[in-house]
Amino acid sequence: MTDFKKIVLFGPQGSGKGTQAERLSGFFGIPQLAPGNIFRKAVAEATDLGKKVELILKQGNLVPDEITNAIMKERLEQEDCLGGFILDGYPRNKTQADELDALTNVSHVLLFKIPDQESVHRLSQRRVCSHCGATYHLEFKKPVQENVCDFCGHNLYQRDDDKPAAISKRLKIFHQETEPLLVRYEQRAILYTIDGLGPIAEVWQRIQDVFKQVHD
């Protein structure tokens, strides 16, 4: 069995995937890859791709598979991914999962479980830096100064896709298109379910317990 960590994180919006992906990235020394962050950076920089996806994101919709797959293939083939990676927000459906299978063999799949009502509550409290994209939470991860990024000093804002109507739409897509993917990873015996409720440190401990269990 390879020692490379090729980790995929699944869970409804607001389940803490992004926060724990950052911790996993630092712990294992491998990159965190989140398509949403790539797209939002393109929007902020007003690139050709950014102009294409800006309206899609504002409406709470997902970027088309062909664009997402092409970008992720390019990213996964870069040198810093050779020793492993953490995927947060990819794959989202069967088409994307098939593409990922064609590119590489995933080693671990973590499913973060929280109720839908908790997703809505958490996301309504999320704020993002308008400049560097750092993410905060008004309950779990507050900035030192209200509405100001700790890292670059720019203002924080609430994303359009973190508002109730867009959240509900994204949750419906998750249940219909993403949850069915879990069967393939369960059949490979690489799926691990994480209780996503509770403080960040407690969820992190549950993740560490999974990797200890795998290698014991």
192: tokens are 């691990």
Class of residue 83 by CB neighbours under 10 A (exposed 0-12, middle 13-18, buried 19+): middle
**With the CA atoms of 32, 90, 114 and 112 taken in that order, what torsion angle do they form, in degrees rounded to the nearest 10?**
-60
Asked if residue 25 lies in contact with residue 90, where contact means CB atoms within 8 angstroms, the answer is no
Write out the residue range of the structural domain in which residue 94 sits: 5-215
Distance CA 53, CA 61 (A): 9
pLDDT cut 90: percent of the chain above it: 63
> Which pLDDT score, from 0 to 100, does residue 1 have?
34
Q: How confident is the model at residue 87 (pLDDT cuts 50, 70, 90)?
A: very high
Asked if pLDDT for residue 4 goes beyond 80, the answer is: no
Secondary structure class of 32 (helix, strand, coil) = strand
Which range of 28-37, 41-50, 54-63, 142-151 scores highest in mean pLDDT? It is 142-151
Query: What's the total number of domains in the chain?
Result: 1
189: tokens are 């015996």
What residues are labeled active site?
A: 17, 92, 126, 159, 170
Asked if residue 66 lies in contact with residue 30, where contact means CB atoms within 8 angstroms, the answer is no
Q: What angle do CA 20, 17, 40 make, to 5 degrees?
A: 110
User: Phi/psi of residue 110, each to 5°?
Assistant: -110, 125
Q: Which amino acid is at 177?
A: E
pTM: 0.81
Q: Is the dihedral of CA 54, 63, 169, 110 positive or negative?
A: negative
CATH number at residue 78: 3.40.50.300
> Which pLDDT score, from 0 to 100, does residue 215 have?
59
Question: Which residues, in sequence order, are CB contacts of 195 under 8 Å at separation 6+?
Answer: 113, 203, 206
